[in-house]
Amino acid sequence: MRCLRTKLEDELLKEKEHVEAIRAHILRDAEALRGNVRPSNDYTETVLAAILQNQSRELIKSHRQPHFARIFFKEHGRAVKEDAYIGRFGIFERETLQPIVLDWRSPIANLYYDDSFENVSVEVDPKHPLTFDLERKRQFEFRDGSLEAFYDSENGALIDRLLLERLSARSGDKLQDIVETIQAEQNRIIRADARENMVVQGVAGSGKTTIALHRLSYLAYQKRNNAAHTQFLVIAPNRVFLDYIANVLPDLGVEGVTQFTWEDLTHHLLPKKTKFASEERKRALFFEETDNGKCEEQRVTVLAARLRGSMAFAKLLERVVEKVAKQMVPDADLVLSPRHQMTKEEIARRFFEDYRYEPYLKRRKRLLDSLSRFAQDAIKDEIARFDKRLTKGKYADALEQSAKIRAAIEERYERFARTVKNIDIYALYRKVLMSENNVSRVLATLSDDTELNEQTKRYVLTRYADSDSSWEWEDSAALLFLTRQFHGFASDTRFAHMIVDEAQDLSAFQIFVLTKLSPNATLSIFGDISQSISPYKGLTSWDEVTRDVFLDRASYKTLEQSYRSTVEIVTFANRALRHHQTPGIPLAKPVLRHGAEPEILKTSEAQEVALLIELIGRVQSEGFKQIAVIEKTMAACSAMQERLQKEASYALPLLSEKTERYEGGLHLMPIYMSKGLEFDAVIVLNPSANAYDANSSLHAKLLYVACTRALHRLYILQKDSLTPLLK
């Protein structure tokens, strides 16, 4: 036993010495790189300097922890044994280009993340994949920059010790990278082919957001020598979420990623400033206490939203655009003079063939520009012909006649130009929705409830009869689609890959618009139908995306393991979903990390504020810093905030849509603002039978989202009868 312990100690000492040798190399290399960076006005030298500076930054980032793993392996069928260290960034000898530490994104590093030890395929060269066998995998544990221990696994799954340690840690105010603990199911999504579109259904806590960002880092590494293939776009649910993930990509070596919420992207792309109505009215309609009198209004609102977000509506608009485009060019020749005429066939050829890669209003401008030049040439030619016929002494008549020739041709051109139609996309869209035939046709594809369809049709026709009314966010996909067809999108929308997070709250039409945003881009779409809590705008099934948007040409992957919460919290949260589980969508399977059972604390209206303050203090005294107090609605949050201030002079900051920077710590928030975030402890306020209807799948999802935000502690502060959804 003593010999074994000494052997392990000797091995640890060697690893520590190796770490120090790498650190010395890093310092030398970083200094050499800085010495090679010189100011220059030359473009090539400037680009080279930027590359050297980036390499220097990556080296410095690696100094504290040069690597996190080591693999011992050999090529299948061969006897020669090899080993390699794996870190966040690659480190190599510059003279020989021999690797010292492999980048986690490199092909060989896949041996560490794969869940097999034998016949592991590695595509060093895609045309000639190699197969390797692993002897063992080693994980290193660093604390405060010092190597403390290592753990080996042999002939089995990767040790969960480091994963469990990371999951047991306290949450931070920003999302962290997971390069040390990427699991095999996550790794397969991260390393999926960049050329394929992908839809990922992942349960709460499965790491969807982190996987999405690591996928961008992996793709950037694969295409690092081609700048055109490293232009990325991230679509996130709100600005708080964007701030929450802000640190991950730079830490993974990815800079300059374009990040938008759907709302910001819409405003960025529309041709003019456009006012959209707040969604507070709809949230109140669906999230406030149950009122049977509102059921019909809810059903109509949902169907009206599905109408405008459906691919059936998108196809209708495609047909409308095609029809309108054919009418933009008049079915007539342009006759400027007997000698200067352009046939309608030639005009149509220019518009529909020569300019076919342009959006329609840009085609219109190009056509009118070309016709204007044709008119100017005609003027010059006709005046020149007249001048040749002039006799001496007729100069005054020449000026007058030249002016008449010019005016006549210009007038004929202007008259014709007015028949080349201009299109107002807003008026066109309103006209489409004011057509009973259009609305009825699409509704028939969505519902077979005749009475509901008729009510919805009346709602839509009434809603869009007022030309001064503001638009709703359900209209944004159609307006962006028409913008793309008639105005085109800006040149800064050329992306190689797009990540869409929390995609279950987008419509199929919105995702379809994203496919049109950048012609050659592929998309990775992440979401959870079980967390679709906006019935007036979200998806009901991934089939709407895989089948209707991508026409079955997108891969579909699932993540069923939840890594965020303890077994006890996930089991508790799953109670709500079991009542209304979406067919084909699995419940979360918790990783084997146990903790305290969720607590249901009963109170009264009079004691609620005091007990909440006491509970917050207790949680903070246990060392938990990231704490969310969650209510169902924003109105309920505001009411509780006022009560805390009035009854106890206690200030509890509110996280709302107006919040742009997430500072972490203690916050009060509505459920919809908590999505995608995670906290050490969560306190859910009064999920009563009155507020959360046992027959409502929406209310079940709301509770599921609220409960699954918790990593370590979950509390239910209950003053009324508990909803059956949690019993």
Q: Tell me: the pLDDT tens digits for 666-715?
A: 999 999 999 999 999 999 999 999 999 999 999 999 999 999 999 999 99
Predicted confidence at residue 4, as pLDDT, reads: 55
How many angstroms from the chain centroid is the CA of residue 422? 34
Continuous segment of H or E residues that includes residue 627: strand 627-631
Predicted confidence at residue 167, as pLDDT, reads: 75
Residue 216 inside a domain? The answer is no
Distance CA 714, CA 596 (A): 8
**Residues 155, 124 share a domain:** yes
DSSP state of 89: S
Residue 209 inside a domain? The answer is no
> Helix, strand or coil for residue 591?
coil
Predicted confidence at residue 155, as pLDDT, reads: 64
Query: Which residue numbers belong to the known binding site?
Result: 202-209
Predicted confidence at residue 437, as pLDDT, reads: 96
**Residues 632, 508 share a domain:** no
Higher-pLDDT residue of 375 and 94 is 375
Residue 356: Cβ within 10 Å count: 9
Distance CA 616, CA 621 (A): 9
- The pLDDT mean for the chain works out to 90
Give the model's confidence band at 185: pLDDT under 50 very low, under 70 low, under 90 confident, else very high.
Answer: very high
Question: What is the per-residue burial (b if ≥16 Cβ within 10 Å, else e) of 637-671?
Answer: beebbebbeeeeeeebebbbbebeebeeebbbbbb
The CA-atom distances, in angstroms, between 83 and each of 47, 141, 663 are 35, 19, 42
SS (H, E, C) 110-165: HHHHCCCCCCEEECCCCCCCEEEEEEEEEEEEEECCEEEEEEEECCCCCCCHHHHH
Name 132's bridge partners.
75, 120
Read off the pLDDT of each residue in 463-467 and give the average, rounded to a whole number: 84
Which range marks the domain in which residue 66 is found? 1-180
DSSP state of 434: T
Continuous segment of H or E residues that includes residue 103: strand 99-103
Could you tell me the two tokens for 141? 């544990």
Domain count, the chain: 4
Residue 235 has pLDDT above 90, yes or no: yes
Residue 618 inside a domain? The answer is yes
Predicted confidence at residue 364, as pLDDT, reads: 97
Higher-pLDDT residue of 579 and 13 is 13
Residue range 594-616, pLDDT digits in tens: 999 999 999 999 999 999 999 99
Is the CA virtual torsion 109, 113, 117, 122 positive or negative?
A: negative
**Residues 683, 538 share a domain:** no
Q: Which residue is it, tokens 């401008």? A: 365
**Residues 452, 316 share a domain:** yes
Predicted confidence at residue 546, as pLDDT, reads: 97
Closest CA to 438 of 467, 476, 464, 471: 464
Residue 205 inside a domain? The answer is no
Residue 128 has pLDDT above 90, yes or no: no
SS (H, E, C) 523-537: EEEEECHHHCCCCCC
**Residues 572, 549 share a domain:** no
Are the CB atoms for 15 and 147 separated by under 8 Å? yes
Cα first-last separation, the chain: 52
Higher-pLDDT residue of 682 and 578 is 682
Residue 223 inside a domain? The answer is no
Residue 304 has pLDDT above 80, yes or no: yes
**Residues 176, 112 share a domain:** yes
Residue 252 inside a domain? The answer is no
Give burial (CB, 10 Å; 0-12/13-18/19+) of 73. buried
Query: Which residue numbers belong to the known binding site for ATP?
Result: 202-209
**Residues 660, 532 share a domain:** no
Name 710's bridge partners.
679
**Residues 584, 527 share a domain:** no
> Residue 631 is which amino acid?
E
Q: Which of 128, 145, 180 is the last residue of a domain?
A: 180
Predicted confidence at residue 446, as pLDDT, reads: 95
Read off the pLDDT of each residue in 415-437 and give the average, rounded to a whole number: 96
**Residues 528, 596 share a domain:** no
**Residues 150, 9 share a domain:** yes
pTM for this prediction: 0.90
Question: What is the maximum alpha-carbon separation in the chain?
Answer: 124
**Residues 143, 15 share a domain:** yes
Continuous segment of H or E residues that includes residue 244: helix 239-244
Residue range 311-369, pLDDT digits in tens: 999 999 999 999 999 999 999 999 999 999 999 999 999 999 999 999 999 999 999 99
Residue range 146-169, pLDDT digits in tens: 999 999 987 654 446 777 777 777
The CA-atom distances, in angstroms, between 595 and each of 169, 571, 704 are 12, 12, 18
Residue 41 has pLDDT above 80, yes or no: no
**Residues 488, 341 share a domain:** no
Residue 452 inside a domain? The answer is yes
Residue range 491-530, pLDDT digits in tens: 777 899 999 999 999 999 999 999 999 888 999 999 999 9
Which range among 172-181, 416-425, 440-449 shows the weakest confidence by mean pLDDT?
A: 172-181
Closest CA to 557 of 188, 257, 8: 188
Are the CB atoms for 93 and 100 separated by under 8 Å? yes
Q: Which of 559, 592, 608 is the last residue of a domain?
A: 559
Are the CB atoms for 612 and 688 separated by under 8 Å? no
